[in-house]
Structure 1
Amino acid sequence: MSTDHTRPAAPAAPAPANRDAPSLGTFSHDPQMPLSEMVAFYDVRHCAASEPASPTALRRPFIWSNSAVSLDGYLAFLEPGDEGPTGIVMRPTYPTMANVDYRMLQTGWAHSDAFIITGSILRDEPNAHIRVVFDDLIKYRQNVLGKPAQPYLVVLTRTGDIPATHPIFNPPDLPGHRDAKIIIATTTSGAARLPLASLNQQLNPPHTILVAETDDGTSVDYARLFDRLFRDYHVRHLDIATGGIVIKELIQGKLLDEVRMTQAMQLAGRMASDGRTRPHFFPAFDEHLFTAETAPHLRIDGVRVCGQRLLFLRMGVEYRH
């Protein structure tokens, strides 16, 4: 395990995807969603980072988010037994379509060089197997894309509060499944609080502790983190598998190139039954962020329908602020 700490200077934006018209179609109503349909929809060969104007400028990969949301924009119901997105994609009622969504999420990870989750996801989903789990996608990464079996798994934590015995640190001892290298991205104070003694006793301890913080040291600096991933870990395509707060901050910083969204045809409402506020895709209820002149536009690059309940969207982000 190594420790990395640096602070460079202003990000160069990746080139936008070049598409003249949206790709429209339907997905097979099949829980074992055909590989050919998935990889065609999430192909990233046309998505590349632009060259910076200066060799000292910050670099970054092409970056997309991938979220499952209700029609009113919520990411989870937060009801007993349903802390994650499974209720949003209607797994109890329509398991076939929920499985299609899961395979599509994994397809995004399979095309990436790294994907980012947060420490809160590990705490909220203590039994989740967060890696590429489908053997056909692992083989596609290796044999078609020429990538290692697993992308880097980047855990974003400002505080260092992560559960050391989570399954990501103890993957099954199977070829292709035990090979994920974990990077913990944090602050100086967060690095000091990490449970390193416990982490280092797990089957798959962190590969790197990467400190990339803001000037005041209170949070992770995304531009600096992305620059290190680009330069030191050769990450050219990055998947953001976080909640809405990170997505909102990336959009504010003009760091997100593409929004991928599974739109579930149901309404959730803001409050859970125990009074908690449900997580939202763009949680800016109390902030004045954009006007009609500055609001980012989303360009629809691809649309797929699965049955009559799920809509898959792939959209480029066009910034105006």
Structure 2
Amino acid sequence: MAGFADTPTGAEDLRTEPLQVLYEEPGLPHWRLPPALTTLYGGDLGFTEPRIYANFVASLDGVVALGPEHPHSGSTISGRKPADRFVMGLLRSCADAVVIGAGTLRASPHHHWTPQHVYPTAAGHFAELRHRRGRPADPELIVVTARGALPASHPAFQAGAVVITTTPVARDLRGSLPASCTLLAAGPGPRLSMGAVLDAVHARGHRVLLTEGGPYLVGQLMADSLLDELFLTIAPVPAGRADSPRPGLVAGQEFLPARRPPTRLVSTRRCGSYLFLRYRFHHAISEGSDPHPHA
């Protein structure tokens, strides 16, 4: 299957061949996806609840961002590979909310964190999946910031994003963001507790959460044992490092040699020379899973 002839294409005509399943752990939870999504993904996909999972694309040498002077660096690393953009859209379509840090927002000045924005040819199928699960058309965008350095004119704010910050920063931001935004305080500061952030997100009724970073936010989640799963695309290209900071998956935290959070590989897919890996973290490994469809 090369694409979706029965769904509208957006500004880009993105098409991909189905992902090839190399390994899948038996008994993973799954929802009944629309047939076109099942075909492209190489099977169904689902999550136990509550769940928070991350999605990143990395170069062969582990770079996930090229530095502040390179906006949209994830697209550069992935080469805008249609298969990677499809997986990104599918993971967004599964989520009740997408959680990002302010740095990720600033690095993507025109982005919308919706499934159809990254893979418009599957927009109708993403919408069908969300309808089956009783979810609104788009996942809610949650922007996390400890300092409040936010571009108020970003289209994500115009669309009604939720901003979670400390009580003092929330006080300073009040009135500076579009009326469509929701501003929530989660603690006195100056540091922002990710546990308090997730409590605020869960209080909005969101149970299945996707984070697309950045590396500092994901590092905090890992350090606090709050991240359940990681979806990692390995792009077949080295990025290199010279003078610009080019972070890996985790920034602001050190685990080795003193700490070794165990993970387990539960799925491996490929499309051409790209690998699509799914890991579970230690606190999620022992949880039971429901192999039956939820939708």
Q: TM-score, normalised by structure 2?
A: 0.75
Structure with more of its chain in helix, by fraction: 2
State the aligned residue count.
250
User: Conserved in 2, the CA contact under 8 Å of 1:76 and 1:87?
Assistant: no
Change (3 A) 1:318 1:41: farther
Deviation at 1:197, TM superposition (A): 4.0
Deviations 1:46-88 (A, max 9, x none): x12xxxxxxxxxxxx3111100001121113348665421111
**How do 1:49-60 and structure 2 match up within 5 A?**
none
Runs of 5+ unmatched residues, structure 2: 1-23, 29-34, 285-295
Match of 1:122 among 105, 110, 114: 105
Deviations 1:224-261 (A, max 9, x none): 1212222x211111101111111111111111110110
Q: Which moved more, 1:237-246 or 1:81-90?
A: 81-90
**How do 1:170-181 and structure 2 match up within 5 A?**
170-171=158-159, 181=160
Q: Is 1:248 matched up with 2:219?
A: yes
User: Conserved in 1, the CA contact under 8 Å of 2:97 and 2:209?
Assistant: yes
User: Conserved in 2, the CA contact under 8 Å of 1:129 and 1:167?
Assistant: yes
Deviations 1:262-293 (A, max 9, x none): 1111211223xxx3211221236xx653337x
CA distance, structure 1, for counterparts of residue 62 and residue 77 of structure 2: 10
Change (3 A) 1:226 1:288: closer
Amino acid at match of 2:102: G
**How do 1:35-54 and structure 2 match up within 5 A?**
35-37=37-39, 43-45=45-47, 47-48=48-49
Amino acid at match of 1:192: R
Amino acid at match of 2:196: R
Deviation at 1:116, TM superposition (A): 0.5
User: Conserved in 2, the CA contact under 8 Å of 1:38 and 1:104?
Assistant: no
Task: Tell me which residue corresponds to 1:227.
Answer: 199
User: Conserved in 2, the CA contact under 8 Å of 1:142 and 1:148?
Assistant: yes
Q: TM-score, normalised by structure 1?
A: 0.70
Amino acid at match of 1:130: W
Match of 2:210 among 215, 239, 258: 239
User: Conserved in 2, the CA contact under 8 Å of 1:69 and 1:88?
Assistant: yes
Task: Tell me which residue corresponds to 2:240.
Answer: 269
Amino acid at match of 2:184: L
User: Conserved in 2, the CA contact under 8 Å of 1:107 and 1:137?
Assistant: no
Deviations 1:196-223 (A, max 9, x none): 34522xxxx21x211112x6x1122111
Runs of 5+ unmatched residues, structure 1: 1-18, 24-32, 49-60, 92-97, 172-180
Amino acid at match of 2:101: T
User: Conserved in 2, the CA contact under 8 Å of 1:142 and 1:149?
Assistant: yes
Change (3 A) 1:163 1:42: farther
Match of 1:296 among 261, 264, 268: 261
**How do 1:81-96 and structure 2 match up within 5 A?**
82-91=71-80
RMSD: 2.7
Q: Identity across aligned pairs (percent)?
A: 27
Secondary structure, in 3 states, of the residue corresponding to 1:87? Answer: helix
